[in-house]
Structure 1
Amino acid sequence: MSKNRKPDYGVDAPEFAAALGAAGVASLVAAARWRRGRVAAALTGAAFLASTACYLHTTLRGKFLIWERELDRAGLNGDEDLLDLGCGRGAVLIAAAKRLPKGHAVGVDLWTRDQSDNRPEATLANAEAAGVADRVEVHTADIAALPFPDASFDVVTSAMAIHNISSADQRYRALDEALRVLRPGGQLLIADPWIMTRKYAGHLGQGTPRSLGPGYWYGTPLLGTSLLHAVKS
């Protein structure tokens, strides 16, 4: 593999981003053709295109910068065993692995279409391109039924994955599984829509969700992301 290759993490929910952009273009086309309602259509189109730009910033740059900051805040020693739930193409998994020269980073996913070209081969190729292939592994697994023993990891992370589970019971099961595989004193860091992290904190009985700011908005503040940080007692 070329030493000049850079990791390619794709786009989150590309169909949604495409729909936002298409709605913006359609509204602007309508504004150009209509006499009545032209201003409203133009404003609507501009709003959709602004949301598209915000979305693309988050998925292509913003979330990476924020996770770099949050992983720094976690104060890793470099020898931890870390598990990333719903790892996708490895954005958080690989950022964490770079901080674990003596540790190990494990990603699990069901490789659905929530992210473009989502498959284990793409994740492993990104790990190799980032120079951390020796400390990264991936598994196909349901995050609500993890194939790991109790107390296997020092850190569990998850970025915009748990909310994709349709059943509330299964979402809470995924949280319980995350705590089960954590060692005492281990850290849980979950980034998800703010409305969901509030429910997670209530289920776990600990942690206060913290907004991650405009850099993690998927098009609008209503689709902003919060981080739930908890420590296993």
Structure 2
Amino acid sequence: MRKRHGSYGFDAPWALAGLLFGALVLLALAAASFSLDIIPAGIAFLFGGLYTLASAASYVYTTRRGKFAVWAEELDRLSGDEQLLDLGCGRGAVLLLAAERLDTGRATGVDLWRSKDQSGNDEPVARENAEAEGVSDRVELVTGDMRDLPFGDDSFDVVTSSLAVHNIADDEGRAQAVREAHRVLRPGGLMLVADFQHTPAYESVLRELGVIDIRRRDLGWRFWYGGPWFGTTLLEARKPAV
């Protein structure tokens, strides 16, 4: 994968800030315990602080490098002429990786542009990133809600989403987003949804819609947000051909 030229920020920056703050607090408590000669507590706080710091390092790696490497491999299957939709595209991490692989196709990103989900999440930033990566001629950005997509039925060959659907707070809202993704996907089209929550529920919705070609798989350590307890699963599904 080539070096990225855009600016992609951090996923859920509040979570990373919490890990770093927790590590600093634990290390400070370790130092205080050792200074008071409370050795067992100092050792416990030290190991806790180092463990939390390692979790923060894992988080930084994933959000800055790991997720790009994983998605690059997943998107290498594109033939280059697809119409692709990325749900919750943010600053364009997945969207622009896809666009690089679309010689004659086009990548469309849809988002509500909320900064709590990704630092600096804003449509102008995504446009600047598309320019920086040299794919702006193949990219369209749309402001919209993934629960009510402004596209016709069977509009896209591929639908992707990375850590976006879980941001919808309620079960029915997430289910509706999956139904909308299925609606705009053409028969025979491919859906790739990466998330660290709710993927079994996404699969259930698709099966209710008649999709049987579905699998879920762990994306491995490069997509850990702090450790294996926050690993990411990829839901891969193909809409039945007519």
- Normalised TM-score (structure 2): 0.91
- 1:217 is the counterpart of 2:224: yes
Q: Give the C-alpha shift of residue 50 in structure 1.
A: 0.5
- 1:115 is the counterpart of 2:118: yes
Equivalent residue number for residue 11 of structure 1: 10
- 2:198 is paired with a residue whose SS is helix
- Alignment length (residue pairs): 226
Q: Give the C-alpha shift of residue 40 in structure 1.
A: 0.7
The answer (yes or no) to whether the contact 2:179–2:205 under 8 Å persists in 1 is no
- 1:128 is the counterpart of 2:127: no
**Residue type at the aligned position of 1:42:** L
- 2:119 is paired with a residue whose SS is coil
**Residue type at the aligned position of 1:209:** R
Unaligned runs of 5+ in 2: none
Aligned-partner Cα distance in 2 for 1:150–1:208: 24
Per-residue Cα deviation, 1:65-122 (whole angstroms, up to 9, x for no partner)? 00001111xx222111000000000000000000101011000000112101000000
Structure-to-structure mapping, 1:59-138, within 5 angstroms: 59-72=63-76, 75-113=77-115, 114-138=117-141
- 1:176 is the counterpart of 2:179: yes
**Residue type at the aligned position of 2:147:** A
- 2:237 is paired with a residue whose SS is strand
The answer (yes or no) to whether the contact 1:198–1:208 under 8 Å persists in 2 is no
Percent identity, aligned pairs only?
Answer: 51
Unaligned runs of 5+ in 1: none
Q: Give the C-alpha shift of residue 140 in structure 1.
A: 0.8
Regions of 4+ moved over 2 Å: none
Per-residue Cα deviation, 1:187-208 (whole angstroms, up to 9, x for no partner)? 0000001x41122112212412
Equivalent residue number for residue 57 of structure 1: 61
- 1:208 is paired with a residue whose SS is strand
The answer (yes or no) to whether the contact 1:190–1:227 under 8 Å persists in 2 is yes
Equivalent residue number for residue 22 of structure 1: 21
- Normalised TM-score (structure 1): 0.95
**Residue type at the aligned position of 1:146:** L
Q: Give the C-alpha shift of residue 164 in structure 1.
A: 0.7
- 1:118 is paired with a residue whose SS is coil
Q: Give the C-alpha shift of residue 150 in structure 1.
A: 0.4
